[in-house]
Structure 1
Amino acid sequence: MITENQIHSLAKRWEIDQITVMREYLQILFLFYLYAQRKSDKIFFKGGTAIRFLFGSFRFSEDLDFTGTLESDEIIGLFNNACSDLNREIPAVEMENFKKKRNSIVSRIRYTPKPDTYPLGIHLEISIRERPITKAASHIETLLPVSPYPVVTHLESEEIMAEKIRALLKRAKGRDLFDLWYLLTKEVKLNWDMVKKKMEFYNDAATLTDLVSAVKAFNQKKLFDDLAKFLPRAQRKTIPGLKENILEKLGRFAVT
């Protein structure tokens, strides 16, 4: 179990609040227990938290996102088992009941260290209709006191980028803009054929021009309000120039 001193030290080092440090600790521990189970290789880690844990992004997150290729009940069983294992290590952790939607199942991990405190939450969402295009397995390296490191099955970076572009076109959150920018800075290939496949799942289509328009149209205040709390203090001053930086990089990357 992480100590208060360790939380304080990492919060200072990462220039973020202590609640965010504790949330990340719980996220990584949960992933450890999830991927220790048989059939967990059918659960594909993805999204902004995957970008942070696997590709070094400095944006923190309150979510864990996945694509699952098992039946819904099997997926729910794996997640409940992981939470039960986590609860034995940290008794104040519990899982809310899963809700089944058309294309996903969702839940929430709650951590309530004291009865009179507001619970720390981790939103869980598992896509269940869409099939992954890519597959990889990697360690999650961390400064947090988690050993051994989790080994997670995940989408490759190109596919994560394609899903981020789809998210940006469909729901428009500031964190998606940041994640796209970060992947572009890492020279992840912008594979438009993959973007097309992701859009086709929702019977939709998009062009690079549509993406550029979405970036330009994104409200600057909304961008700051959504993103600032997830960034280290020193990085928040870069938010005003984020859209311009993305547009510059989109102009240089070849679309394939």
Structure 2
Amino acid sequence: MSAVLILGGTAEARALAAELHDAGRPVVSSLAGRVARPRLPAGEVRIGGFGGPDRLAAWLRDHEIAAVVDATHPFAARISASAAHAAPAAGVPLVRLERPGWTARPGDDWHRVATLDDAAATVARLGARRVFLTSGRQGLPAFAGLDAPWFLIRCVDPPDCALPPRSEVLLDRGPYGLDGERALLDRHAIDVLVTKDSGGDHTAPKLDAARERGIPVVVVDRPPRPGVPTVTTVAAAVEWLQ
């Protein structure tokens, strides 16, 4: 039986790999390798990029892959674009598994922006004094020029890039609970939260805590995605594969 390639790294990707593996379906999960100690899914795992869409197409043909599930992070735009080109070129079916984005609820004070640079400008416009920055370490240079606010930067691995001059790094990995997020906001006197619209339940409690505290939230919208078939649940992805 030919294998399914899961472009992964997300909780949904791991859940899908586990379900396919338990059902006896060969599965290969591909991780970008940006996290030092990733949570490994069931089945075969490869780490690192493919070298562009043409090489990915060749890899799909060489390994006789039956189908591709793009279950990467909503902000991993490059690999999604590569898969959208490579899968049709190799004659392999492709589906995107993407969790729905977050929706503002009554009481939220959200400021939606298109880019991290826009988020930094919004932080300055809001006159933030103490910012909880949860947008990932790769986007930290966008905030490096802000010297007025103090930043609490939460990420999985230590950042190796320019940081805001007044900042503290908190190394932690979700999922996070509401009580913990409340305590974090209170302990550090946070007055603005910055996040990407990652969606899902694992990191959503910070939004609930910010709503309770009346804290403005700067939300970076997801980048545009290629027009490929898309499902929003692991069950729907399994059904598509069947």
Q: TM-score, normalised by structure 2?
A: 0.28
Which is richer in strand? 2
When Rg is computed on C-alpha atoms for both structures, the one with the higher figure is 2
Q: Give the TM-score, by structure 1 length.
A: 0.27
